[in-house]
Structure formats: C-alpha cells, structure tokens
Chain A
C-alpha cells in the first residue's frame, strides 16, 4: 500500500514540477508571425537574435507563411478570430490596421509607450505613422516602408539614348527603341502586377491618382471618377498594344517580374522597394550594377503618383505577454533596426534621417532620390471592409488586363460593388 501511495505522490509531484517549468519557460518565450519571404524573415531573425542577446531570458520564435498579402490576411483572420493566444506579435500589411483594430484583434500600445507616445509617432514619416493610428489609438508600429518605383536597365537606356521618362508615353517610346534594337524575342519592355493579388489594386490606382483623382474622401465614402479610372486602365492596355508590355500581363506577380528582370528579359518594371536587394545581391542575378530606380511616370498632363506600402508590427489583443511584446515591437521599430534593414535588405526606412545617413547612402546611393517618392506615396482606401474593396478592384483590374472585360464595364463593376461597401 505504501509503495502505491509513494508512486502516486511521485507522479503528482513530477506533474506539478513539469507544469511549473512549462509555465516559467512560456513567460519568457514570444512567438512572432513574421510575414512571407518578401518581408525578409531572415533579416528579422537577426534582429531578434540581437534582442535576445540584449535581454537574457527572452526567447523569440518566428513563424512565417503566406506568399502574398491577401493570403496572409486570410490566414491571420482565421487565427485572430479564434482568439488564439499562440502568437504574440504579428507583422501586418499597411492596409490592415483599421480592419484588425476595429475587429478588436490588436492591443493598443498607448499605455505601453507612456509619455513618449506622441514623440515616438512624430519621428516616423507622416503617412506611415498615421496608418497605424485608428480611432485615436496606436495599434501598431511601422517595421519598414515601401513604395512602388520604376526599375530600369540603366545600361540599355544609356545604350539607346533614352532619357528618364516623365510620362507613360515617353516610357513606351523609349522601350520600343530598345526592344527594336535588341531584337531579343524573349525580352519584354515593362511589366506591372496584373495577377489578381493585392498589388493589382495599386496597378489600378497609380494612373488614376496620377490624374489628380481621389478614390475616397476623408470619411471613407467612395468618390470614383469613372472616366479617369477608365483612362488609367486603357493606358495599361495601350502599352500591351504597342508591344512594350507582355500579353499575359494578367498572370504577372512581383516575383515573376523580379525573375524576368534578373535574367535580363525585362527592361523595366513597376515594383516595390524590396526588389532592389534581390536584383543586386542574389546569385542568379545577371543585372548587378545595371539597375536604376526612378519615380513612376505620370499620365499625360498629370503628376507622378505611387502606392504606399510597408509592413507594421502589432501586438495581439489575446497575447499573454503584452508588455514584453510591446517592448520588442518598440525595438523592432527603432531607427537602429531601420538602418540595419536598409543596409542588409534595402528595406525602405520609416525615418527621414535614415535616408541621409552616410553608411546607408554608401550602400544605397539612390535612397537620396527615393525619399521624396516615399514621402509623397498615397495610401489605399482605409476601410474596415477592406477585404471586399480590395477584391472588387483587383478582380476587375485583372479581368481588364486579361481582356475579358472592357475598361468601361470593369469600372462600372467596381462602382456597383463598392457603392454599398464604402458608404
């Protein structure tokens, strides 16, 4: 009888010890969802390692996934709706804070930032800081900025005497000269995101904004100028008709453009800031040192306009380590981290001073010219029903580029679908 009792007592003691140990371990472990490959989880891991060294006893595990922004949003929506406490910190796209905050999924950081809250927000580039403030609460801090640029082959432009294009017409004319001269059947002129992913919303908006139009007013109501939207879509189609854009543009994603550009089969592309590092440093790139960066061309008579992008760090409302997570998010969103990410991965900083830092400029001389582009970048419509807004615009844009729907009908579709959503 005593042997049995001893066994029982031993088991209970061992179990209790195990629970305590597990409890102690989890208090110092934080789990971070660090986006997909384009959000450079490898660089983030280095920053996390640094943080672990500076804060002994803290362990950070990362989880990655989701090839595109809307796939990540769909995954995170499921996890957050289940109020899952497994992940403490999320990296989210710049378009997500409003939707997630209104759904009650993000922990406001005002309390954790204390008195410094306002000064901290003022150090960020205005549009990028403001995107993280919803209903007066700071719900995320910027990780890095992004905007879309025109990447082009400096060597080919110089060879054929093509000057920096101010309008899409000038770009088309210059590309035609290069393509006719190179006589390479596999080479294409310019490419943009045509597949029905989040980036297609930017493909729709850039020529639209370039004509000086707004998609919505300050209250979030839709103010679509149908004629201007139609003109914008027709501009993309005219590039295909002139032979400077590939016919299967409806299949093209940012990764496809980067691969084609690296192989020397694309003269120019409209792509995000993170593409620079991949073109210059990846082993299979044949265009190292031959790449130039410009602001996007404008529509005739309009101004250059580009899409704001970038990613943010947010603390989950269901995390069990909120204070520790807030501290980590502060570190990841600091000027030191921004400088590291710029130098190591050409991820655009959210601090103005980083663009003029001597070390940064040595590695990335084009950053001096990038700063005005990043500052002038415009935000996509902020809405708590952004899923529907994005789907309507990207699906119609994809249909137009695949030539299954005419621009006029596509614009009517967008207006019809979003009239109820963006009231």
Chain B
C-alpha cells in the first residue's frame, strides 16, 4: 500500500500534472475567479461607499434597475456601435498595412517599427493626442481643413462628429495590432502557391481572393476575437477624448461602469453593470467559438 508521501516522492503522471498545475490554478483563482465571484456577490447588494451605511441585501433589484436604466441602454448601444464600426475598420486598415509591410523591402526593420509604434503607445496617450488633433482652436485637423478653405469645425462638440473622431482614433490604434497578427499569417503562406497560380494564369486579384484570404482565415479569426472583446471594453480613448461628451453621447458601457463605481461610489449597481458587460462578452465569445468549430468541422 503506497502512502501519500510515497506517491509524492515518485508521482504518477496524473499526480505530477496536478502538482505542476496547482500554482497556476491558485493564481488564476486569486486574480480571476475571486474578483468575478465577488462581482456577482456585490451585485445583489445596495452598497454605497459614500454614505457609510454599509451594504443592504436587495436581491435582483439592481438587475431590475439596470434593465429600466436608459443610460445603461444608451451606453450599451454606443459600445455596440463602436464595436461594429471599429472592428471591421481596423481589419481592413490592418490588412492593407500588413500587405504593404509584406512587400520585399531592402530593410525590414523600419517597416516593422512603424507598424509597431501605435500599438506600443499607451491608450490614454493616444486618446489625448487625438483629442488635441481634433481641438477646435488648437487642433491640427482644423488647421489643415482651413488651409483647404473650410470653416473650423467643432469636431468633439457634436455627437456624430465626436463619435467619428473617436472611431478614427480607435481604428488608428488597433489596426497596428491587427496588422502584426495578419503579417505573421501572411509570411506563413508558401510562395510556391503564388508561383503555381501565376503559371496557371491567375490575375493578382484572383490570387488575392483565392489564395491569400483563405490561407489568412485562421489569423483573421484570431485577430477578430481579440479585437471584438477589447472593443466591448472600450474606455480609454473616449474617456480621454470627450469624457463621454457632449452630454452622454459618446459614453460607452465601460465608462458608465467606471462613473458609477469610482465617481458615484455606488459599488452595488456598478457591479451589476459589470456583470451585464461580462454576459455580453461571454455571448459574443460563444458565437465566435461556435462559428470557428463549425468551420473546422466543415
């Protein structure tokens, strides 16, 4: 009969697996499972840090309030709109950049560097820089606009143009990440395929649609998943560009959660909103994964 000590000194494969994974599980539990669990737990309380009254159990009341809350639906709508615009937008721009970067340059590193820089810039810096670009009086965009004879526009003070400005900034920032992933995918396509296609008389356009895109599909799907999840959590760029203004026209769900928790100190309702965003992300991830598994089995 082996005691557990004996098993430790000469573990079976299963026991070894458990021992080696244990630290990772513990870390994951601490920094992922515990906060999410606490989030769900807090959402059932009326917890305000400002009043000093402690927490009061309210059950599903917070969720009922969330469904009735106009600001929540507006913020969700803004977030979905940003996702729908910037994800395909960044994909197109990223694909273009990746194709450009894949051309045979004498020196590769300046191209790679240029591709990498927007991604390396912190989001808040990018937001502040673009906010200055779009500033009515001191902005570089109005400067160029006026040199072409236009009137100075108040880009960030009208809901539609502020939204457009934010999308431009987000696409600029995220297309570099997309381009990097797509460039890696492009480099894996064997040149022999293109040579064979040329021999068979295929045009460049046909080569692009019949070889490049299908071979790039796995990279595209990976890039899309990453980009969509991040787009749902958009906070930094709208926050630094417009603070959700004018009024609440450019407030995203993440900004609304931040405002409720950090500014209003209403942790209970803020947790409820965060659970809402969590569910949204989960649903979208599930949709993507089902699409991939269906593709793989096809």
A75: shortest Cβ distance to chain B, in Å? 9
Which residue of B137, B249, B264 contacts A404 across the interface (Cβ within 8 Å)?
B249
Q: Contact: B249 with A81, CB < 8 Å?
A: no
| CB closest residue in chain B, given A413 | B247
Q: Kindly count the residue-residue contacts between A and B in the assembled complex, taking CB atoms under 8 Å apart.
A: 88
Assembled-state Cα–Cα distance A325/B5 (Å): 56
Give the number of chain A interface residues (Cβ < 8 Å).
31
| CB closest residue in chain B, given A260 | B137
Assembled-state Cα–Cα distance A105/B79 (Å): 35
Q: Contact: B263 with A251, CB < 8 Å?
A: no
Q: Contact: A250 with B49, CB < 8 Å?
A: no
Assembled-state Cα–Cα distance A395/B75 (Å): 15
Q: Contact: B51 with A399, CB < 8 Å?
A: no
Q: Contact: A404 with B158, CB < 8 Å?
A: yes
Q: Contact: B246 with A387, CB < 8 Å?
A: no
Query: Could you say which of B51, B135, B248 has the most chain A C-beta atoms within 10 Å of its C-beta?
Result: B248
0 or 1 for each of A384-419: is its CB under 8 Å from B? (1 = yes): 111110010001101100111100000000000000
State the majority secondary structure of interface residues on B. loop
Query: Could you say which of A70, A81, A251, A387 has the most chain B C-beta atoms within 10 Å of its C-beta?
Result: A251
Task: Choose, from A96-104, A157-165, A272-280, A289-297, the stretch at the interface.
Answer: A96-104
Which residue of A78, A248, A385, A405 contacts B262 across the interface (Cβ within 8 Å)?
A78
- Interface residue A247 (Cβ < 8 Å from any Cβ of B): yes
B42: shortest Cβ distance to chain A, in Å? 13
Complex contacts, B112 vs chain A, CB 8 Å: none
Q: Contact: A247 with B154, CB < 8 Å?
A: yes
Q: Which residues of chain B from 120 to 154 have a CB within 8 Å of any chain A CB?
A: 135-137, 154
0 or 1 for each of B239-276: is its CB under 8 Å from A? (1 = yes): 00001111111000000000100111110000000000
Which residue of B48, B49, B137, B263 contacts A391 across the interface (Cβ within 8 Å)?
B263
Assembled-state Cα–Cα distance A391/B265 (Å): 13
Q: Contact: B51 with A248, CB < 8 Å?
A: no
Complex contacts, A399 vs chain B, CB 8 Å: 245-249
Assembled-state Cα–Cα distance A250/B157 (Å): 7
A54: shortest Cβ distance to chain B, in Å? 37
Q: Contact: A395 with B247, CB < 8 Å?
A: yes
A135: shortest Cβ distance to chain B, in Å? 11
- Interface residue B159 (Cβ < 8 Å from any Cβ of A): yes
A87: shortest Cβ distance to chain B, in Å? 17
Assembled-state Cα–Cα distance A247/B51 (Å): 40
Taking beta carbons and an 8 Å cutoff, which residues of B are in contact with A? 48-52, 135-137, 154, 156-159, 243-249, 259, 262-266
The 10 closest A-B pairs by CB, nearest first: A399-B247, A402-B246, A248-B136, A402-B157, A387-B263, A387-B264, A404-B246, A250-B157, A248-B154, A74-B262
Sample (5) of A-B pairs whose CB atoms are under 8 Å apart: A103-B49, A196-B245, A196-B246, A250-B246, A398-B245
Taking beta carbons and an 8 Å cutoff, which residues of A are in contact with B? 70, 73-74, 77-78, 81, 99, 102-104, 195-196, 246-248, 250-251, 384-388, 391, 395-396, 398-399, 402-405
- A246-B137, A251-B156 known; 4 other A-B pairs, CB under 8 Å? A74-B263, A196-B245, A248-B137, A387-B264
